[in-house]
Amino acid sequence: MEKLGELFKKYRELIVYVFVGGLTTIINWVTYALLTQCFGALNLSIANTIAWAVSVIFAFFANKFWVFEHKSDEHILREFMTFLGARVLSGLIEIGGFALLVDVLLFNDWIVKIGIAVFVVIANYVLSKFLIFKK
């Protein structure tokens, strides 16, 4: 058990990031599902964009305070704007990739969301760790 505690301590940031990334993905998917199920006439790409925006707001606060433990609010506007810029970049990849693969090439929307989510989580971790919340 002590060995497990040491491993968690050593890899805490990555473990918590993966957990928060999972929660962020769940928030994205649940929002998307609610929008597409409750508002069936809503364009799938519009629903995907709204789901992305909701999940980005959650992700900023979870990453700032829980993953990277930036407790100070001193640079919160700069951090948020940088975070938002990085998420816009990965969001454009997600939204553009989704639109291309689902709306144009007619791939299954959920398979596309899963594939893109893997790429986005990895890219966002790298950007967050080395650009936004660097120590």
Q: Is 69 left (phi over 0), alpha (psi -120 to 50) or beta?
A: left
List the single range of 3-7, 57-61, 87-91 with lowest mean pLDDT. Answer: 3-7
Sign of CA dihedral 64, 68, 73, 77: negative
User: Which pLDDT score is estimated for 34?
Assistant: 92
Q: Whose CA is closest to 70, among 132, 22, 15, 17?
A: 132
Backbone Cα Rg of the chain: 16
pLDDT digits (tens, 9 = 90+) for 105-127: 999 988 998 898 888 878 888 88
What type of residue is 51?
A
Rounded Cα–Cα distance for residues 89 and 78 (Å): 17
What type of residue is 101?
L
pLDDT digits (tens, 9 = 90+) for 16-54: 998 998 899 899 999 999 999 887 767 888 898 899 889
Indicate whether 57 pLDDT > 90.
Answer: yes
Give this prediction's pTM.
0.73
Report which of residues 8 and 34 the model is more confident about.
34
- What contacts 17, CB < 8 A, 6 or more positions away? 63, 67, 125, 128
CB 7 within 8 A of CB 54: no
Tokens coding 27: 């928030």
User: Which pLDDT score is estimated for 91?
Assistant: 81
pLDDT digits (tens, 9 = 90+) for 63-108: 999 998 877 777 888 889 999 999 899 888 888 998 999 999 999 9
* Residue carrying the six token digits 């929008």: 35
